[in-house]
Amino acid sequence: MNIRTVSTQPFSDQKPGTSGLRKSVPDFQKPHYLENFIQSIFDTQESLEGQTLVVGGDGRYYNRQAIQIILKMAAANGVGQVLVGCGGILSTPAASCIIRKNNALGGIILSASHNPGGPNGDFGVKFNTSNGGPAPEKVTEAIYERTKVIDAYKILEAADINLESPGSFKLGSMAVEVMDSVVPYRSLMESLFDFDQIRQMLTSGNFKMCMDSLHAVTGPYAKAIFEKRLGAPEGTVQNGEPLEDFGGGHPDPNLVYAHDLVEVLFGKNAPDFGAASDGDGDRNMILGRNFFVTPSDSIAVLTANAHLVPGYKNGLAGVARSMPTSQAVDRVAAKLGIDCYETPTGWKFFGNLLDAGKATLCGEESFGTGSNHIREKDGLWAVLFWLNILAVRGESVEDIVKEHWKTYGQNYYSRHDYEEVETDPANKLMEGLRSGLGSMKGKKFGRYEVEYADDFSYTDPIDNSVAKNQGVRIGFTDGSRIVFRLSGTGTKGATLRVYLESYESDASKHGLDPQDALGDLISIADEIAQIKAITGRQEPTVIT
């Protein structure tokens, strides 16, 4: 066994963001760049000897080459066994499932989630810990500190492993198991949902669904579950072949980037139900016939109907949402008499709540929902949850949501994204907002009066860790909110996200176009933050 120790120098830009390290493919292809970050992960673990590691990715460009490098480095660093997805394919939810099922040390997931792929697209590396969830900040900080001083990495000289079909291999003294990652994930889904009832609905001839995998990782999982196991007709899963460039598309399941699915669900002879997932399979978009379900409404509806689903029929310990997510689920939690936790953006903040049994369902407005079955958000899980509810209730998606509004009121909600804003103007905008917080209370903007203004800070109720500067919140006396934050998931410039929310209890005023219902708040947001003046942008890149 020939292990090489390769001299290297630190890179100054390897600080992980919200979900790992994301850069362009050319950045990761720089000599030693990927290796430095992987070695830094290994160097910050207490022990690798004999441990099991899970490795795989969303199939984007450079996925296969990176896996071969990681396998050889794992062998050189004393890892006992690596479980790797067949073809290098491994959805983020499936990775969490496999880490937990095999008591693994953790997993290295290669994905830039919903970011574009291809030779000039984006690539990412995320480390998940033994609970199956994204590494907490104390771990990612340790990795980052190591990247700043690293001077060498270890790698085994060996031929590449055949990843094309399941099999067992050896790399030096390390075992490599190439596995069909669909099987354990499907088994987990079968333990949570009534597959027989869903199958009956899908094969009745009275219900039609469409699943768009956007040429990303969920294709093989969706085909195996919806078409083969649940009996949906062949072709139900569209764009189901993972491609290195996602077919030239943007694997982000929203109304803009999943426009083909939107056209189908809002067209003639539309199916009853539509869904899409993202690059690595952890996000979801839910549509009914001529009806879009906001992610904030989705987690609220799932919470209100969880008792209809086998895996959650005994009740929920609590729910959690990210701070920018609408307060719709808060109203359901209050009626159920359970706690609702408000956390910063980033699924890692839900991990402690889930591990401590404080929360069962979690949701983010960025099209992410999940539960305590794993420690990641889970796109196909959310689709199955909706299908289970539809099968039990026998109503349309639109009817279920509108009935929900009648009971709880409607939280009008929208997110405006300004993508690839120049970094300096973006920072100037946020600094201006923060500097004005102290004098904001009591100010009036038309019929809206500011009740509070702050920069959201979170103290974890389990380990008392504190996360500061998580987004500027401006709350009004009628319960409306505007939130401003810079996203940590882009690789070019900065993405400014503006979140707008107002509550309407009057059923006669439900179902309006959110952009109309929120029109005054949209104008106020620009007035307060001076978005157009500072960024030069006249309108958002994406509105959801």
Residue 407 and residue 379: Cα distance in Å, rounded?
27
- Pairing status of strand 458-459 against strand 466-467: antiparallel
Q: Is 455 helix (H, G, I), strand (E, B) or coil?
A: strand
Check 111, 113, 326, 371 and give the catalytic one: 113
Residue 130 and residue 143: Cα distance in Å, rounded?
16
Selection from 12, 20, 134 nearest residue 489 by Cα: 20
Residue 535 CB neighbour total at 10 angstroms: 18
Residue 132 CB neighbour total at 10 angstroms: 26
With contact defined as beta carbons under 8 Å apart, do 329 and 258 qualify?
no
Lookup result for tokens 């493919």: 25
Instruction: Look at the alpha carbons of 300, 305, 311, 312 in this order and tell me if their dihedral is positive or negative.
Output: positive
Maximum C-alpha span of the chain: 73
- Strands (E) located in 393-492: 410-421, 444-445, 448-455, 458-459, 466-467, 472-476, 481-486
Reply yes or no on whether 113 is catalytic: yes
Question: What are the Cα distances from residue 139, in Å, to 44, 60, 357, 451, 491?
Answer: 8, 26, 22, 37, 22
Q: Is 146 helix (H, G, I), strand (E, B) or coil?
A: helix
DSSP alpha helices (H): ranges in 266-327? 295-305
Q: Is 303 helix (H, G, I), strand (E, B) or coil?
A: helix
Instruction: Look at the alpha carbons of 386, 392, 394, 398 in this order and tell me if their dihedral is positive or negative.
Output: negative
CA 399 to chain centre: 27
Residue 228 and residue 218: Cα distance in Å, rounded?
14
Which H helix or E strand runs over 275?
strand 273-277
Give the active site residues: 113
